[in-house]
Amino acid sequence: MFLQGLDELDQKIIRLLIENARISYSDIGQQVGISRVAVKARIQSLEQRGIIEEYTTIINPQKISGAVSCYFEIETLPDTFKQIIEILNTNETITQIYRVTGKNKLHVHAVAASSEEMEKLISKVIDPLPGIISCSCNIILSRIKDIKGLRL
């Protein structure tokens, strides 16, 4: 995939960071053929331009005993859409919210510490949402493929 504004060297650096965000500037430099200082400058430029947003640790909830992951497909009335997003945004159990096309307007991911916590989320937060036309909840049994970041 080609992104306008990224030269081949930036793409190589980003690929290495996607594989291992903890890789050193020196190791990147050795692999792409430039100095550690040049790598640092390029990464700082990518960060300042907003191309690299953050470095993070990704936790697999399926590896934590009792954790439950699910996603909701929520169809809303247009006049309550913003209110629903505000409510969902404030809940710590909800990990991702996507606006999508088609019948369902929102695709929402949640990770709870237990079945009981997930049930509480559904009964106390999801069910009372205003202007819901339809809502489905699907428990995630296992993660088969989960690509983080953009693949160039």
The pLDDT tens digits for 26-38 are 999 999 999 999 9
Q: Which of 82, 91, 98 shows the shortest CA–CA distance to 130?
A: 82
In which band, very low, low, confident or very high, does the pLDDT at 3 lie, cut at 50, 70 and 90? Answer: low
Q: Which domains does the chain have, with CATH numbers?
A: 8-48 (1.10.10.10), 61-140 (3.30.70.920)
0.85 exceeded by pTM: no
Q: Kindly state the tokens that stand for 87.
A: 């409510």
**C-beta atoms surrounding 49 within 10 Å:** 11
